[in-house]
Structure 1
């Protein structure tokens, strides 16, 4: 096995004590999924609001916690016999939400010139890697002009570019 996935069994083995404690305490796998999303949201908030240097430690800790929760939720469900389709869907949705939150946090806040409360929420949420800027940037103000067209006349661009 090559790449980072080669580390997954090693990481799961390191978490076995935590997993055993969670089994004894009858913690729900859904709780761990929610904790993983909350950890990603915390990392996004740290990226958005803390200066670059001081943000490094909390972001690293929160992302490590997010990876631990992502590893533990499925393992806990399998070990306790609580695997369900709903749980599998919730796990995937939580993973995708967490994957989108962190880069969105890097594109928001006082350092980036945008914020979650700005007039441009889509620009804030899609900047810095969560989506292609050329296709998803919100207009600066409502009514800033027609969308630009590219390629086929039947296929307009999906966004108007702000300054």
Structure 2
């Protein structure tokens, strides 16, 4: 049997160290329930003439007093896992959407263009041949999003990036 702690006022159920907070129904005036795997107790709040007190729980109390909270915790955990799986599926769908892949492709392209901007400064020492090679490279970058197959994988391994001239220190 699991170890269980329940604190209704905090909307807290802990089962074997897994703590979840969520709305659940508990007996009125129950302050807390503690179960160590074999036995436990319920802490009751006082009311009127009745003072606060603890009610011991023996092994035969588990099914009626403790197990329902364990089941609630399992159900809540399953709901949270389902919601997380749906959120991850939506995130992946967005990440892999054509629009997002184009955005990543353009961003990678813009970074590569920016990395060679300094070479086009009028006072940068490039030969005419180097300037032409650089202009061809930069034009190939600008044309990349309009090529057939774009956006590929959004600028990752499957993207046919033009080869940067080996003399460029980008």
> Shorter-chain TM-score: which interval?
under 0.3
TM-score, with length taken from structure 1: 0.26
Query: Going by fraction, where is strand more abundant, 1 or 2?
Result: 2
Q: TM-score, normalised by structure 2?
A: 0.25
Structure with the larger RCO, 1 or 2 (CA within 8 Å, 6+ apart): 1
| Larger fraction in helix | 1
Larger Rg: 2
